[in-house]
Amino acid sequence: MAEWKFRIPERKTLPGSLYSVVALLLEQRGYIQEDERVRFLSPQYDRDLHDPFLFSQMERVIERIGNSLKRNETIGIFGDYDADGVTSSVVMREAIQNLGGHVVVYIPQKDTEGHGLNTQALDFFTKEGARLIMTLDCGMMNHEEIDEANMLGLDVIIIDHHHVPEILPSAYAIINPKLTGETYPFRELCGAGTAFKVAQALFRRLAPEQEDQVKWLLDIVATGTVADVMPLVGENRVLVTYGLIVLSRTRRVGFQEMFRVGRMPFNGDKKPSARDIAFQIAPRINAASRMAHAMLAHDLLMESDVDVAGQLAVDLENHNNARRKLSTETTEQVKTLVLSEYQDKKFIFAVGETYPFGIVGLIAGRIAHTYRKPTCVLFRGSTESMGSFRSIPEFNIIEAIEKCADLLVKFGGHSQAAGMTIKNENLDAFYERFSALVEGALREVITEPEIWIDMEIQPTDIVPQLVTDIARFAPFGEGNTEPVFSLSDMRVKQVRFVGSGNKHMKFTLESPDGLRVFDAIGFSLGERFSSIVEGDRLDIAFTLEENVWNGRSSIQLKLIDIYRKGE
C-alpha cells in the first residue's frame, strides 16, 4: 500500500479573485506574484520565449552555419537514437533545408554503436564531403571523437542539454543551457528545445521575414520535450502549449499517418495532450531504436509522400506492438529479481543476458517508478554490459556515476536518467561502490511507493468552475503534475466492474452528509479492490475531469488510490 503524502497539509483561505483551491495550488507551485500567475495560466509565445542570442555562443554558431550555407557545404547532423535525439535531428535538418542548405543525417544503431558520436559516423560525414557537423542531444562526453573530427578537418558544433563535464570537449562551439556560466536564462530545455533555439536564431539572422515559419516545428519540439520528461515549466511550458496546437493541425504527413495507423483521433477539434505524447506518440518513436533503427522514425517524420509515410507508420506500429509485449515480459522478470534480492536494498541492479538492450531504459524506468528506488538494468554481452539508469528525485544519478568513472568504458546522461557501458570484470566492483553511494545518500529517505496529493478538499469544492480552472494548469507532466485531491469518508452507493476481466471499477459515491453524489472511475483498480461493496466508507485520491456523454457534460472523479475505512 502506497503512503499518501500531502503537498498542502493544511487548508487555509487566501484573499484574491482566484478560486481559493486554485490560489492554494498556485502558491504551492511557486507562483506567488500576479505576473507569475498570468504567465503560468496564460503562456504567450512572443512574450515568454527568450531571445536565442542570449546563448553565449549562439553568434558563433550562426556565423559558422551561415558560412556553410553561403558556400553550399554539406552539413552533417549526428542525432541520438531516442525520441529527443530523433526530434532534435528533424528540427535541425528541416530548419537548414528550409534555408536552402544540404544536410546529411546519421543516427547510430543503438545496440551496436551505443550513445554518442563515433568513428563510423565521422567516416560517413567525411565521405559525404561535410566540413561542419552538429551533434544533436549528445556530444558532451565525446572528447576523443571530437578531437578526431578536428584532425579530419571537421568543425563540430555540440547542441545538447546533458550533464556538462569538468573538461569540455574541443568543439567549435557548444549550445547547452547547462554550461557553466551560460548566460541563457532557462536551463531545462531538452535536445529538441535547444535545437529549436538554434533554428530560431538562424531564421532571425538569415531570413527574418520567414521567422514565423519556425512555429511549424513546434509539433516536433513538444514531442521531444515530453518524451525526454523535461519539466513543463517556464519556456518548456510555452513550447509544449503551442506545440500541442501545432500537433493537432500538423502539416507533417508522417504524424498524420502515425495517427491514422495508431487510431489516434487527433485533429483541429481534438487537440492531443502532453499525456498523449508521453503514452502514445513518444513510445512509437522510441520503438524504432528499441526494435529496429531510429532512422525509421526520423524518415517517417520527414516524409512528404503519403503512401511512403503510410508504410513507414505501419512498420513503426508493428515494432511498437512487439516492443510492448517484450517490455511487459521483461519487466515481470526484473520484478521477480527485485522481490528475491533487492527488497531491503536502496539500489536495484539487474544484469542479464536475456534483457534486450533496446528496452533496458524503459524497464529501468518502470522498476524505479514501481519501487521508488534508483535502478540500473544492463544487457550482459560476452565481454561488456550496456544499459540504463533511472532515478528518484532525491538522488542525482549522473553525479554518482562520475564517482565510478574509472570502472566504466563510457557513460552519459543527467540527474534522473543515464546510460553506461562497462566491462563485465568490473560489474561487482561497480555494484559495491555505486550501491554504497546510494545507501549513503538515501540513508534518511524511505524508498517505498508513495502517492503525492496536493490537498484534501471538501465535496462542496467540486464544482464546474474548479474543473475549468484546473484545466488551465495543463499541459501536465514532469514538474507540473496534474493536481491530485483527496476526499474523506465517502460512502459507496453503487459499485460495478467494467472492462475485460473486471479490470476497472465504476462508482457512485455519496458525501458524508448525503448532500452530494459523484461519479468516479478507477482504471486498473479492479484486482486490488475487488472486495469493495455498497455501503463501504472510503478515503479516495483522485484527479478531476469533465466527462462528456451523449452531449451532456458532468464532473467525474478519476481515482488513483483508495483506503477503505476499518482496514
Per the listing, cell 518502470 goes with: 366
- Does 380 reside within a domain? yes
Q: Would residue 300 count as lying in a domain? A: yes
Average pLDDT rounded to a whole number, residues 382-402? 95
Q: Taking every pair of C-alpha atoms in the chain, what is the biggest distance, in angstroms? A: 78
In a domain, 336, yes or no: no
Q: Are residues 436 and 459 in the same domain?
A: no
Are residue 279 and residue 410 in the same domain, yes or no?
no
Task: Give tens-digit pLDDT for 108-142.
Answer: 999 888 889 999 999 999 999 999 999 999 999 99
Contact 244, 274 (CB under 8 A): yes
In terms of domains, do 463 and 429 share one?
Answer: no
Predicted local distance difference test score (pLDDT) of residue 565? 78
Q: Which residue, of 386, 418, 441, is where some domain finishes?
A: 441
User: What's the one-letter identity of residue 365?
Assistant: G
**Rounded to a whole number, what is the distance in angstroms from the first to the last CA of the chain?**
11
Q: What is the mean pLDDT of residues 536-542?
A: 97
Measured between alpha carbons, how far is 216 from 253 in angstroms, rounded to an integer?
A: 13
Note whether 225 and 240 are within 8 A (CB): yes
Are 357 and 111 in contact, with CB atoms under 8 Å apart? yes
- Rg (Cα) of the chain, in Å, rounded? 25
Q: Quick check: 498 pLDDT over 70?
A: yes
Q: Are strands 517-522 and 348-352 parallel, antiparallel or unpaired?
A: unpaired
Q: Which residues of 400-431 are buried (b: 16+ CB within 10 A; e: fewer)?
A: bbeebeebeebbbbbebbbbbbbeeebbeebb
479 pLDDT band, cuts 50/70/90, is very high
Closest CA to 419 of 344, 481, 348, 360: 360
Whether residue 277 lies inside any domain: the answer is yes
CATH of the domain at 412: 3.10.310.30
pLDDT above 90: residue 519: yes
d(CA 520, CA 509): 7
Q: Is the pLDDT of residue 504 over 60?
A: yes
Pair (255, 209) in one structural domain = yes
- Give the chain's length: 567
The answer to the question of residue 3 being in a domain is: no
Question: pLDDT at residue 171 above 70?
Answer: yes
Of 185-199, 399-413, 482-496, 545-559, the poorest mean pLDDT is in 545-559
Residue 373 lies in a domain: yes
Structural domain includes residue 528 = yes
- Distance from C-alpha of 391 to C-alpha of 365, rounded to nearest angstrom: 8
Number of domains making up the chain: 3
| Higher-confidence position of 500 and 518 | 518
Q: Is the pLDDT of residue 447 over 90?
A: no
* Residue 480: φ, ψ to 5°: -150, 70
- The residue range of the domain holding 354 is 342-441
Please check whether residues 125 and 158 belong to one and the same domain. yes
Distances (CA, A) of 55 to 76, 85, 92, 209, 455: 22, 20, 17, 22, 39
Q: What is the mean pLDDT of the chain?
A: 94
**Is residue 171 classed as helix, strand or coil in its secondary structure?**
coil
Percent of the chain with pLDDT strictly greater than 70: 98
Cα 182 to Cα 166: distance, rounded to the nearest angstrom: 14
> CATH number for the domain including 554?
2.40.50.460
In this prediction, residues 260-275 reach a mean pLDDT of: 91
Per residue in 393-407, pLDDT tens? 999 999 999 999 999
Q: Looking at the structure, do residues 429 and 464 belong to the same domain, yes or no? A: no
Indicate if the pLDDT at residue 332 is higher than 80: yes
Residue that has been written with the C-alpha cell 464546474 in this structure = 464
Question: What is the 8-class DSSP label of residue 72?
Answer: T
CA–CA–CA angle 435, 441, 444 (5° rounding): 115
- Model confidence at 270, pLDDT cuts 50, 70, 90, reads confident
Q: Determine the pLDDT at residue 501.
A: 80
- Rounded average pLDDT over 503-528: 94
Last residue of a domain, one of 276, 294, 314: 314
pLDDT at 17 over 60: no
**More confident position, 14 or 179:** 179
Average pLDDT over residues 339-346: 93
85-96: b or e for each residue (b if 16 or more CB lie within 10 Å)? Answer: bbbbbbbbbbbb
Q: Cell for 283?
A: 513510445
User: If phi over 0 gives left and psi between -120 and 50 gives alpha, with beta otherwise, what is residue 241?
Assistant: alpha
Boundary of a domain, candidates 391, 409, 441: 441
Query: What would the grid cell of residue 140 be?
Result: 558532451
Provide the pLDDT for residue 527: 87
- Within this chain, do residues 388 and 462 fall inside the same structural domain, yes or no? no
Banded model confidence at residue 566, pLDDT cuts 50, 70, 90: low
Residue 36, Cβ neighbours under 10 Å: how many?
Answer: 13
429 and 462 fall within a common domain: no
Write the CATH number for 236. 3.90.1640.30
376 inside domain? yes
CA distances from 241 to 187, 237, 333 (A): 18, 6, 38
pLDDT for residue 16 is more than 70: no
Residues 409 and 460 in one domain: no
d(CA 277, CA 226): 7
DSSP per-residue string spanning 142-154: -HHHHHHHHHTT-
* Whether residue 424 sits in one domain with residue 488: no
DSSP β-ladder status, 348-352 and 375-380: parallel
In this structure, the answer to whether residues 252 and 380 fall within a common structural domain is: no
What gap in Å lies between CA 211 and CA 417, rounded to an integer?
34
- Mean pLDDT, range 321-328, rounded to an integer: 95
Percentage of the chain exceeding pLDDT 90? 88
Residue 280: its pLDDT value, please?
97
Amino acid in position 451:
I
Digit-coded pLDDT (tens) for 549-565: 777 889 999 999 999 97
Mark whether 403 and 459 lie in a shared domain.
Answer: no
Average pLDDT over residues 500-522: 94
